[in-house]
């Protein structure tokens, strides 16, 4: 696995399969470390952005600087904003075929299996490397039907009307400190527009890769699913293993219009030195369906609570979340459902696994606003703790401002898997086999909702994580 | 040559609390031993300690199979040496299919050198075998596709233990109250199942409060545990006597152990 890596990183790669990195000396552009108005202007200039976007960035920077660090969630005391590169461009241009992509980078994506997946089961791909998208594709027939799938920078240039209508409207810069940070220095990310009635059969996938040490990646994704349309978008993320920290702070905004359907699947697999602080929110309109499938593996600290605002009657929201916290990791993940209209329904299913001293927390909010009568919400969260050194917490918040509603909450029962381990081992299974089996079984109800390729991927990643600390 | 499971002067603690205080039993392949004793006397503790539960610490004494000391071995190593425990309370493993689990288990037990990731026993061979064993135990083949013990009734769980025993063919089997909480039909199925499996190749330790299992599987030895010690050993007639008359006379004959047992039965304040 790691043996054919072109360069081995200086710290122990361990069992993380994607910990290798490429050389960085021939990058097209690298900002200096740290963050100020000059850096922000530089990013905007490099991208030849219109004035409104430059202003938006500078205002966001002010908000970022004026906000205190959140005092809840995970420990961010070691996160040093001055020790981060906020913008890096590895390739001078985006490739339309893999042959156009610089060799090092292409090899990295080969090893991540992206070109192969593209051939087999994807309708389109975006590959982001550091700050910029280095490769993009979209099936021709979809382009002909008016589907747009570009990086968000290109969208600013080519689709200003859509951008000005929706960009920063679902998650304004003032939403939270990290949304403000992203708004100031954002780069890359996916822009998707699916026209009325167009149903995209195969997934569109984006792949995010951090390569440098102390890198900050701030992609910005905007997805608009027009009336009666449907799309499944998938994102994957990896990074090299370094001894110092990197920061990934994305903003994802989604609009699901009347009768439309959007599924957003994340299979995050950051290395253990990445702070992953992400804001994701969708607005779901009449009779639409929004689904977040959120697989959080890896990273040092993840704070991520994908939200769905159910804006009109008949809107449905669903979040399936799997978190795996291994040694030195804290997964603070969950979901938010905000019912703003009558007859809306939501479901949250969360499963977390803690192992080897890892910590996972479920943090969730279900809010039923005044006027959202006949709304239904169902929350189930389950935690599996594989050893006494690991930890799991649950922070469920429920706010109800309406009488006639149905909320079910199955409080998390944190189970230490000791008895299960002993039972299986007494039948001759090794500790590693037994824990892998228990974990696979634990997440099975969730994984079986994924398309086959992603279910296989999820199981494989979990197995790799499990190999990590046993024995 | 028949194998021997030798338990010598076994002391076992849970946390800081000593539970077993010097247990000696020798079981040969082909023998059936009954282990009886009132609640809290330490029978399940002995069973767990033999199977290698990590929370049951052996503080003194030893467990050997054919002279090999297994006291420090992990549960899976012991299982690969032929140890099997039918649990008093079988554990539920959600999402893990009976067939997948058993195929792994059998592959390891039949090929103790098997490394992780190496081939499993052939699917066809395995299916045929599990079907036959399930049939003998009157189990619906559908159970092979269910999640292990998940949503099983008490009787179904106990049958599942016997099925596992039938598939794994251990040299030494400990049955911890496998007949408790079952209706008489289920007790019969389990008893007959055990009788079919036991034989010259298996040494059996039956922990029971009932007579039925022993009727089908008459023990050569009966041990009585009280306060963490074996206080008496006899033949099948001792088991019969205890069933008929209870433990009052045993307590009278061993007042010190009886007092310790009474203490153990008090609810703890942890
Ligand atoms: N896991 C445990 N934690 C605490 N105490 C235990 C545990 N297992 C057994 N004991 C104690 O050990 C004593 C013997 O219990 P056990 O072996 O279950 O008896 P039996 O099976 O004969 O009823 C009891 O006092 C019981 O409370
Ligand atoms: Mg018992």
> How high is the pLDDT of residue A314?
98
Task: Give residue B196 CA to ligand 2 midpoint distance, Å.
Answer: 25
In this complex, the residue of B95, B108, B116 whose CB is nearest that of residue A428 is: B108
> How high is the pLDDT of residue A468?
55
Chain-chain contact of A438 with B76 (C-beta, under 8 angstroms): no
The residue of B77, B81, B105, B151 whose CB has the most chain A CBs within 10 angstroms, and thus the best one to mutate to test that interface, is B105
Q: A445: which chain B residues are within 8 Å (Cβ-Cβ)?
A: 95
> How high is the pLDDT of residue A217?
97
Task: Give residue A441 CA to ligand 2 midpoint distance, Å.
Answer: 28
Which tokens in the block code for residue A410?
């199955």
> How high is the pLDDT of residue A180?
98
Chain-chain contact of A430 with B108 (C-beta, under 8 angstroms): yes
> How high is the pLDDT of residue A465?
77
Give B150-160 pLDDT, tens digit per residue.
999 988 999 99
Identify the structural domains of chain B with CATH numbers, from first to last: 4-90+170-265 (3.40.50.300), 91-151 (no CATH)
Q: Does the pLDDT of residue B73 top 80, yes or no?
A: yes
Query: What is the mean predicted confidence (pLDDT) over B18-43?
Result: 96
Burial class (CB in 10 A: 0-12, 13-18, 19+), B117: exposed
Q: Which atom of ligand 1 is nearest to the CA of B42?
A: 17
For Cα atoms A2, A454, A166, give the angle at the middle one, nearest 5 degrees: 110
Query: What is the mean predicted confidence (pLDDT) over B44-58?
Result: 97
Cβ B228 under 6 angstroms from ligand 1: no
Cβ B20 under 6 angstroms from ligand 1: no
pLDDT category of residue B262 using cuts at 50, 70 and 90: confident
Q: Are β-strands A190-194 and A148-151 bridged in parallel, bridged antiparallel, or unpaired?
A: antiparallel
Q: Are β-strands B221-226 and B229-234 bridged in parallel, bridged antiparallel, or unpaired?
A: antiparallel
Q: B147: which chain A residues are within 8 Å (Cβ-Cβ)?
A: 441
Please report which helix (H) or strand (E) contains residue B196, including its range.
Answer: helix B184-197
In this complex, the residue of A420, A432, A433 whose CB is nearest that of residue B93 is: A420
The residues near B262 (Cβ < 8 Å, ≥ 6 apart) are none
Closest among B166, B145, B163 to B155, alpha carbons compared = B163
- ipTM comes to 0.96
The residue of A351, A426, A439 whose CB has the most chain B CBs within 10 angstroms, and thus the best one to mutate to test that interface, is A426
Task: Give residue B261 CA to ligand 1 midpoint distance, Å.
Answer: 11
Ligand minimally distant from the alpha carbon of residue B265: 1
Choice from B10, B15, B16, B40 to test ligand 1 binding pocket (greatest atom count within 8 A of CB): B40
Q: Which atom of ligand 1 is nearest to the CA of B38?
A: 22
A243 and A212 Cβ atoms separated by less than 8 Å: no
Task: Give residue A341 CA to ligand 1 midpoint distance, Å.
Answer: 55
Cα end-to-end distance, chain B, whole Å? 47
> Is residue B117 left, alpha or beta, with left meaning phi > 0 and alpha meaning psi from -120 to 50?
left
Q: B102: which chain A residues are within 8 Å (Cβ-Cβ)?
A: 427
Closest among A349, A342, A401, A399 to A375, alpha carbons compared = A342
Cα B227 to Cα B215: distance, rounded to the nearest angstrom: 27
Chain-chain contact of A437 with B80 (C-beta, under 8 angstroms): no
Query: What is the mean predicted confidence (pLDDT) over B177-201?
Result: 88
pLDDT category of residue B106 using cuts at 50, 70 and 90: very high
Task: Give residue B225 CA to ligand 1 midpoint distance, Å.
Answer: 13
* Spans of chain A, pLDDT less than 70: 1-15, 411-414, 467-471
Chain-chain contact of A429 with B76 (C-beta, under 8 angstroms): yes
Chain-chain contact of A425 with B79 (C-beta, under 8 angstroms): yes
> How high is the pLDDT of residue A15?
65
Q: Across the strands, what pairs with B69?
A: B64
Cα B147 to Cα B96: distance, rounded to the nearest angstrom: 5
């Amino acid at each position: 696995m790691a043996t054919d890596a072109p360069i081995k990183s200086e710290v122990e790669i361990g069992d993380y399969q994607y910990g290798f990195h490429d050389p960085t000396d021939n990058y097209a552009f690298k900002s200096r470390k740290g963050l100020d108005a000059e850096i922000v202007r530089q990013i905007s200039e490099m991208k030849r952005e219109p004035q409104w976007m430059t202003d938006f960035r500078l205002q966001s920077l002010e908000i970022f600087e004026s906000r205190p660090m959140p005092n809840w969630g995970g420990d961010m005391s070691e996160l040093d904003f001055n020790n981060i590169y906020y913008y890096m461009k590895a390739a001078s241009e985006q490739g339309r075929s893999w042959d156009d992509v610089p060799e090092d980078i292409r090899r990295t994506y080969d090893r991540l299996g992206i070109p192969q997946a593209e051939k087999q089961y994807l309708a389109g791909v975006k590959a982001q490397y550091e700050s910029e998208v280095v490769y993009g594709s979209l099936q021709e027939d979809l382009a002909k039907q008016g589907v747009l799938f570009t990086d968000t920078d290109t969208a600013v240039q080519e689709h200003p009307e859509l951008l000005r209508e929706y960009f920063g409207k679902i998650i304004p810069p003032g939403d939270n400190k990290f949304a403000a940070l992203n708004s100031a220095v954002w780069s890359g990310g996916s822009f998707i527009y699916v026209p009325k009635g167009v149903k995209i059969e195969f997934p569109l996938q984006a792949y995010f890769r951090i390569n440098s040490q102390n890198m900050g990646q701030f992609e910005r994704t905007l997805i608009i699913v027009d009336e009666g349309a449907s799309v499944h978008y998938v994102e994957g993320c990896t990074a090299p293993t370094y001894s110092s920290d990197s920061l990934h702070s994305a903003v994802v905004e989604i609009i699901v219009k009347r009768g439309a359907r959007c599924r957003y699947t994340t299979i995050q697999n950051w290395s253990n030195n990445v702070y992953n602080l992400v804001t994701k929110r969708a607005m779901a309109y009449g009779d639409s369906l929004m689904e977040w499938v959120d697989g959080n593996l890896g990273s040092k600290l993840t704070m991520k609570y994908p939200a769905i605002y159910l804006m009109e009657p008949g809107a449905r929201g669903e979040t399936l979340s799997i978190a795996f916290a291994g040694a030195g990791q804290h997964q603070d993940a969950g979901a938010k459902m905000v019912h703003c209209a009558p007859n809306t329904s939501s479901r949250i299913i969360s499963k977390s696994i803690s192992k080897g001293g890892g910590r996972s927390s479920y943090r969730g909010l279900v809010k039923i606003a005044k006027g959202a009568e006949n709304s239904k919400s169902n929350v189930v969260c389950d935690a599996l703790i594989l050893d006494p050194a690991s930890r799991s917490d649950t922070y469920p918040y429920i706010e109800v401002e309406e009488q006639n509603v149905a909320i079910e909450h199955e409080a998390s029962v944190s189970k230490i898997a000791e008895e299960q381990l002993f039972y299986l081992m007494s039948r001759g299974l090794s500790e590693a086999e037994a824990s892998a089996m228990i974990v696979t079984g634990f997440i099975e109800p969730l994984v079986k909702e994924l398309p086959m390729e992603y279910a296989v991927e999820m199981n494989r990643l979990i197995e790799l994580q499990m190999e990590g600390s046993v024995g | 040559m028949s194998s021997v499971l030798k338990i010598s002067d076994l002391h076992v603690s849970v946390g800081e609390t000593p539970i077993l205080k010097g247990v000696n039993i020798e079981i040969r392949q082909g023998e059936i031993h009954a282990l009886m004793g009132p609640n809290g006397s330490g029978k399940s503790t002995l069973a767990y300690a033999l199977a290698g539960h990590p929370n049951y610490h052996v503080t003194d004494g030893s467990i050997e199979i054919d002279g090999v000391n297994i006291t420090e071995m992990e549960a899976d190593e012991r299982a690969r040496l032929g140890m099997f425990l039918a649990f008093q309370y079988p554990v539920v493993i959600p999402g893990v299919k009976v067939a997948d689990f058993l195929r792994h288990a059998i592959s390891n037990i039949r090929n103790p050198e098997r490394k992780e990731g190496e081939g499993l026993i052939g699917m066809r061979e395995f299916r045929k075998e599990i079907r036959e064993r399930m049939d003998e135990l009157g189990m619906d083949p559908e159970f092979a596709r269910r999640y292990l013990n998940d949503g099983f009734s008490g009787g179904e769980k106990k049958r599942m233990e016997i099925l596992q025993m039938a598939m794994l063919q251990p040299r030494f089997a400990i049955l911890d109250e496998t007949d408790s909480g079952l209706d008489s039909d289920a007790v019969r199925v389990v008893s007959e199942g055990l009788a079919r499996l036991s034989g010259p190749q298996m040494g059996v330790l039956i922990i029971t409060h009932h007579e039925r299992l022993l009727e089908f599987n008459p023990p050569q030895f009966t041990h009585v545990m009280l306060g963490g010690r074996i206080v008496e050993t006899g033949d099948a007639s001792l088991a019969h006597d205890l069933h008929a008359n209870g433990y009052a006379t045993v307590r009278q004959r061993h007042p010190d152990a009886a007092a310790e047992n009474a203490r153990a039965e008090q609810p703890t304040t942890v």
